[in-house]
Structure 1
């Protein structure tokens, strides 16, 4: 029998999601059967899959250990990263969130090629060392990064220190209450100094390359991108600000390339001759500005609404 006392970071989530986080090797069918047969009880009573947990609840799980598998632990994961956050990596921090300045070349989350030094691991290490995260005392929660940037894209990444902040940031992102703006160097001058452009986008999961076309095609989704030219002759490139209306894989890089203005240094969608002349190791793209829109609903992050944060250390502007 496994017993949990639900803590604040476990609360306000569905019962089934908590259990699967705590025991990732547990088969869903086994869990569902245990709930039906009262082998999973909440506060000594029968519960449902969709029951939402509250702080202080007592959860008992009567499932054989071999079926449960190993309980998830972050103990090893916290210390995987060979690097740690530095003072200059932090744009803003409070008890709920942290805004990080991701450098190009750093991966946000682990993938098939790199799972030993990620920004997510660096965040966990940082919070552990500062006494804000103890994996041994958590049942299911771990600090998390809420938005993703490509490995070779720089800029602001939002980290959540607790479950309530994580839920609220994810909600704000879904509702487009978080505005992200990018600076980039384009290889050519767009036809218009300012525009909102649309196209159709499809990602090939096998190659991790996206195709952009003017008209809708099989498997495609619409993309909308806004841009404005800031300086048409910035060191031989075009300095522009870009804002995503939709958010698809490689959207800025692929969309700007589609209109004939690829980002300098982009080896996947850019121009080889321009990239060779620039000598850039990475694509000149940075998520440099973040705005929390005001909402009418009171929430745990209401104090951030209306505030704007900016990344001033942009490598291609130095």
Structure 2
């Protein structure tokens, strides 16, 4: 419990607005709940949220100590009262999440609260499965990342053991990540491989594809398969052999088939033609095929997880290809 005495500078404020100013980490819905439960007392009694405070009023706040901390990037999750996550799978060690396009995965200089990682932290904190205030607490972490404007499956570790094993499996390529994208024109051949070397321009935050290696270049290999063709567009499935920054976007643009909606590697004129804002790219399927012992994650071996719906498939092709929708997991 913490106690505050109202001075002249705070007098005249509504109780709920005083709480918002004094405890910025406390979400407004939770503050309202605490007021209703009389965990916020004015002069020893429960009160209403719209009461006006007077000089000399004594407030007793029965609120967890962490909400009184100074806001920092590390505790921003506390301000999320209802974390928004689309969970495909969860067990003791990991989460598989369907990230929506437009959501950044990690806090950065532009956004520290509304990020995938922050929502995960808030979710686990509210489930009482994790807290940064526990001694030697492990922090939930992402095992893979997806660009802000790309949607799809992200793996999050809930435990240190889960993080260690999953990161090793990713490093050893014992899982496959499949993407769907919509590109301009028809791929020739319909199924094949894109290979090259990616050079990254750190200033422009853009990569370039070249046919030969060079200083700073990284190999990039993408297997692709055309699933459907309609109205001059192709729905393509990609299997990433390497996982480089902007790999799919840059390689298809270099091949003469940029992704629709891609403002960095595509054509603005074509994007306007199709009314697409943000690249038509989705990490829609994840398959686990462990060749060595996975310890606490062994139960995932042989399983495949897939998102239920991808908006641009419906928008440009009407439905999933004739082969039909695959199950969410098998």
Regarding TM over 0.5, the answer is: yes
Q: Distance in 1 between matches of 2:207 and 2:187?
A: 21
- Equivalence for 2:121: 124
Question: For residues 215-254 of structure 1, what are the structure 2 equivalents within 5 Å?
Answer: 215-233=212-230, 235-254=231-250
| Cα deviation, residue 140, structure 1 | 4.6
Q: Give a deviation string over 1:138-173, Cα, whole Å, max 9, x none.
A: 425111111010000000000111100011110111
Partner Cα separation in structure 2 for residue 292 and residue 211 of structure 1: 31
Q: Could you tell me how far 1:238 is from its partner in structure 2?
A: 0.6
CA distance in 1, matches of 2:174, 2:238: 17
Deviations 1:70-126 (A, max 9, x none): xxx98623225576124xx11111111111110000000122332231100000001
Matches within 5 A, 1:115-194: 115-194=112-191
Matching residue of 1:305: 301
Give the distance between the partners of 2:297 and 2:252, measured in 1 at CA: 34
Q: Cα 1:75–1:253, aligned 2, differ >3 Å: closer, same or farther?
A: closer
Q: Which is greater in Rg? A: 2
Aligned mates of 1:220, 1:265 — CA distance in 2: 26
Unaligned runs of 5+ in 1: 1-72
Whether the 8 Å contact between 1:99 and 1:156 is mirrored in structure 2 is: yes
The 3-state SS of whatever aligns with 1:135 is coil
Q: Separation in 2 of the partners of 1:262 and 1:170?
A: 31
What does 1:21-100 correspond to in 2, within 5 Å? 76-81=75-80, 84-86=83-85, 89-100=86-97
CA RMSD of aligned residues (A): 1.7
Contact map agreement 2:89 2:95 (CA 8 A) in 1: yes
Question: Which position in structure 1 is the counterpart of 2:274?
Answer: 278
Match of residue 291 from structure 2: 295
**1:149/1:189 CA distance change after superposition, 3 Å:** same
In structure 1, C-alpha distance between the alignment counterparts of 2:73 and 2:106, rounded to whole Å: 15
Q: Distance in 1 between matches of 2:280 and 2:206?
A: 18
Structure 2 CA distance for aligned equivalents of residues 194 and 138 of structure 1: 53
SS at structure 1 position matched to 2:296: coil
What is the distance in 1 between the residues matched to 2:293 and 2:198? 34
CA distance in 1, matches of 2:219, 2:177: 19
Taking CA–CA contacts closer than 8 Å with sequence separation of 6 or more, which of the two structures ends up with the larger relative contact order? 1
Task: Look up the SS of the partner of 1:137 in the other structure.
Answer: coil
3-state SS of paired residue (1:277): helix
SS at match of 1:79: helix
Q: Deviation of residue 298 (structure 1)?
A: 4.6
Q: Gaps spanning 5+ residues in structure 2: where? A: 1-71, 315-330
**CA displacement 1:201-250 (0-9 Å, x = unmatched):** 011112110111122233211111110100122x5421000011111100
How far apart, CA to CA, are the structure 2 residues paired with 1:310 and 1:80?
Answer: 31
Counterpart-to-counterpart distance in 1, 2:313 and 2:87: 19
Aligned residues: 243
TM-score (ref. length: structure 2): 0.70
CA contact (8 A) 2:76 2:112 kept: no
Deviations 1:271-301 (A, max 9, x none): 2222011111211000000011132325110
1:103-122 superposed matches below 5 A:
103-122=100-119
After superposition, the C-alpha distances for 1:16-72 in whole angstroms (9 at most, x for unaligned) are xxxxxxxxxxxxxxxxxxxxxxxxxxxxxxxxxxxxxxxxxxxxxxxxxxxxxxxxx
The 3-state SS of whatever aligns with 2:257 is coil
